[in-house]
Amino acid sequence: MCSRFDSVPLSTLILGDKSDPTSSSFAQRLAKKTKKQVFVSISIPATDSQVLLLIEKRIKQEMDAFPEKF
């Protein structure tokens, strides 16, 4: 969700390595696209950016196809 001070959605890392922003940036992109609060736990290396994009696209497709489940 965005704050009133910034258009980038807020994110907080609860568990995991603070030097790896994969989960936070993934959650921010999904929140921005869906305009909903998003919780993400992901353990895919950040070097696999193509895989992350495919996962993000598939999640968005599922959210569009079945909005009542999200």
Q: How many domains does the chain have?
A: 1
Q: Which domain holds residue 53?
A: 2-69
What angle separates helix 22-34 from helix 49-65, to the nearest 10 degrees?
30
Using CA atoms, how far apart are residues 62 and 70, in angstroms rounded to an integer?
9
HSE at residue 20, side-chain half, CA atoms within 13 A, is 13
CA nearest to 9, candidates 17, 22, 21, 30: 30
29, pLDDT greater than 80: yes
The reply to whether the predicted model has a pTM over 0.85 is no
Task: State pLDDT tens for residues 30-69.
Answer: 888 888 888 888 887 767 788 888 988 998 899 889 988 8
